[in-house]
Amino acid sequence: MRTAALSFFLLLGLALFCSSTNGAIDLGYPDRCFFSVGKSSSGAWWFIDPKGAKFFSHGVDVVTYSGDSPAGGTSAYNAAVKAKFGSQSAWADSVVSRLNSWKLNTLGAWSDTVVITKGLPYTRALSLGKGFDTWLGGLFPDVFNPAWAASVMTEAQAGCSPYRNDTKLIGYFLDNEKVLNETLVYAAQMWWGPIGDRGQDDWRRPGTILDQMLISLSTTAPGRVRAVSFLKSKYPTIQALNTAWGTTYASYDAITTIPAASTAHTTDSNNFGYLAAAQFFNVTRTAIRTYDPYHMLLGVRFVGAPTEGVLRAAGEYNDVVSINSYPSTSEPSGPPTSRITTIYNAAKKPILIGEFAYKAADSGLPNTKGAGLLVATQALRAEGYKNYTTKLAPLPGLVGFHWFQWSDQPAEGRGSDGENSNFGLVNKNDATYTALTNQMTTTGPQLWTLHESSTSGLSGAKCYTSLTCPKSCSGHGCCNTKTGECKCDTGFHGSDCSTDATKFSVTSFGSALDTNMWSTSTSASGSQANQAARVSTSSNQLKLSIAPCTTAAPCNGFNFTAGSVYTKSALWGFGVYTARFKAPSVTGFTAQFELNNRASPTNAITFRVRANQDGSNGGALDYTINGKYKYLKWVGALAIGNPSSAFHEYTIRYMPTYFSFYVDGTLLATYNATTSGNGLPTTTMSASLYISATNTSPKVSDAFLVSSVTYQQIWGATATC
């Protein structure tokens, strides 16, 4: 076990805020500087880019090659750009060129993984809140449930680790849009209780976070237990609560309805809302910081302004507070400045508008689903954009706007929720709405001056003398402190070296196949088609069956259906692989134990075992290197006798300089780079077990039984950086 022996400064990195005159600076380590936020001498907030320059984010969301697809259909936009550009990379180059010319400087939420590599600053949207369980329709998690916290850690690892060192990433939105369950219930944003500045319930669920945790969770759920504990700390008896709230509940367990409005209930709801929101933001921040300590947290894209307690918690745990705020009939130029001021005063952090848009009737789209104000023409759409942005840009707490979205939605409605609106800067054919983009080109640079005409007193770029590595490489690798990347010891994988591929041991297959460990194959080759239905477990053994196809049960020209499994991981390396099995008894059926890299070109080492072959029994040894197959040897009668009469251990020893085959510890053959004829494979492998037949095999059923499979790495090296 490797132990960390890094100094305090290497563990944490040393964050420096280097002074700047809003221009480029050379710190000698530009790959270790990241976006941050700062406030000028006059009180205006700005993003600060990795070179120390002020940055007002003027962006667009959902910049994707795929575009939106209707339910059960294909994306017209994707078909158009495939024909127009030929490749996703060429499309992305064109997009970035156009955005630069339109003075848009940020790729907003949900932009695809190719376009974000083309040089523009970008944001990432995570899904850490909604959809954890079915409570409240998945709109809000039980934030006090440890299982939710564990799920957030898993999501953060997948969502943040690949981006932790990217200096073009501005930061992460913690949640927003997500299909919530198998019935395609869809909600644009997380639910946070009442919309504070409107003084009304969120239309999706009535009441406050406190109300819903009391009336909707089971009495033993962690969230309800916490809510009751919160109330009992102030109201030790239910009578005391009833007096304060004007209610007649029989007990705390009997609270099943939302009470009428009262001063005490409003105060208690706001205070508990703060506790629940603080729990949410603390858990999500901790998870993200575990895998990415450098980039900003951009909030959850609130619908308008939630309650003061929720906003206060958001400000305490996030670098930026984000809201989505579309224009409407009552607010044609966007949210009133008073709402932005309310949010800013409560959160005390800069505000980013994550979504806004106008849509026009002359686009020919239905425009019946999707937020935003419908206007008559593209010219009015452009005018709406100008009015919205120039009205709000002077607010000192605002740091940017992101238009929703890059391309129009399909007329049939996008598959997730049916939205069918003219939100795009381009239409389904990738043709530009020039009235809008011309207005953006003119207005974009003005937003910076409107925000603050002359800036001084900003802190400089946020830079690090060294970068830490995820989880200190889990004790199984070394950290390159210049790049913040782990180099893993042999047998360990992942950005944090936490994936242990040094061993596995399956000594019992139990009552069902472990689908975390194994996959079933549905490929077809030779004379059989592999089917998951031919894989089963019984008496703690794996059973791979084979059965003939018939006129009543044909299988696309193949003679048999058969069972086949392989380890989901193909990261197993040099070492000893052993399978204990009993071969099928029918002449012409073969039990196959194989190491396979499951990639192209193929590398494989195969041990084939046959019973009653030509009146005897034996095994065939072969391998494939870089896609080139090589038959090695037929092993005649095995000393073990008939391999279908009992279980025996079959071993492949895979090493850097040779590979060899054993049965019950007896060596059958060894091959090195010379004797193998084609050289040696060096890739990591998956372990596979399958049963096969020949075209002349009898049309009967049989099975290949496996009692255990193990692997142990016996060669490796400690990483050095």
Helix (H, G, I), strand (E, B) or coil at 150: helix
In the DSSP assignment, the letter for residue 430 is S
Sign of the torsion formed by the C-alpha atoms of 254, 260, 261 and 264: negative
What's domain 501-713's architecture?
Sandwich (2.60)
399 within 8 A of 37, measured Cβ to Cβ: yes
pLDDT in tens, 138-154: 888 999 999 999 999 99
- Per-residue confidence (pLDDT) for residue 26, from 0 to 100: 41
Cis check for the bond before 554: say yes or no (omega within 30 of 0): no
Among candidates 66, 60, 67, which has minimal Cα distance to 407? 67
What values do phi and psi take at 303, rounded to 5? -85, 105
Q: Where are the beta strands (DSSP E) in 514-665?
A: 518-520, 524-525, 528-530, 535-538, 541-548, 560-562, 564-567, 575-582, 590-596, 604-613, 616-625, 628-635, 648-654, 659-663
- Per-residue confidence (pLDDT) for residue 186, from 0 to 100: 36
Which residues on adjacent β-strands are paired with residue 169?
122
- Per-residue confidence (pLDDT) for residue 617, from 0 to 100: 66
Please name the residues in contact with 166: beta carbons below 8 A apart, sequence gap of 6 or more.
none
Could you give the angle at which helices 146-160 and 263-291 cross, rounded to 10 degrees? 40
Length of the chain: 721
Rounded Cα distance, 641 and 638, in Å: 6
Among candidates 307, 318, 311, 308, which has minimal Cα distance to 283? 318
Give Cα separations from 170 to 114, 173, 274, 451 (angstroms).
17, 10, 27, 19
Give pLDDT < 70 ranges for the chain.
1-31, 177-189, 195-199, 201-204, 613-617
- Per-residue confidence (pLDDT) for residue 666, from 0 to 100: 93
Among candidates 316, 307, 388, which has minimal Cα distance to 355? 388
Rounded Cα distance, 106 and 584, in Å: 62
Domain ranges in the chain are 501-713
Among candidates 583, 716, 565, 558, which has minimal Cα distance to 638? 583
- Per-residue confidence (pLDDT) for residue 615, from 0 to 100: 52
- Per-residue confidence (pLDDT) for residue 706, from 0 to 100: 98
Rounded Cα distance, 487 and 629, in Å: 33
Rounded Cα distance, 632 and 129, in Å: 56
Rounded Cα distance, 329 and 455, in Å: 36
Among candidates 353, 271, 350, 263, which has minimal Cα distance to 310? 271
Rounded Cα distance, 85 and 14, in Å: 44
- Per-residue confidence (pLDDT) for residue 634, from 0 to 100: 84
Give Cα separations from 685 to 497, 567, 594, 630 (angstroms).
18, 9, 9, 18
- In which residue are the tokens 């994936």 written? 499
What values do phi and psi take at 296, rounded to 5? -75, 155
The b/e string for 626-654 (b: 16+ C-beta within 10 A; e otherwise) is: eeeeeebeebeebebeebbeeebbbbbbb
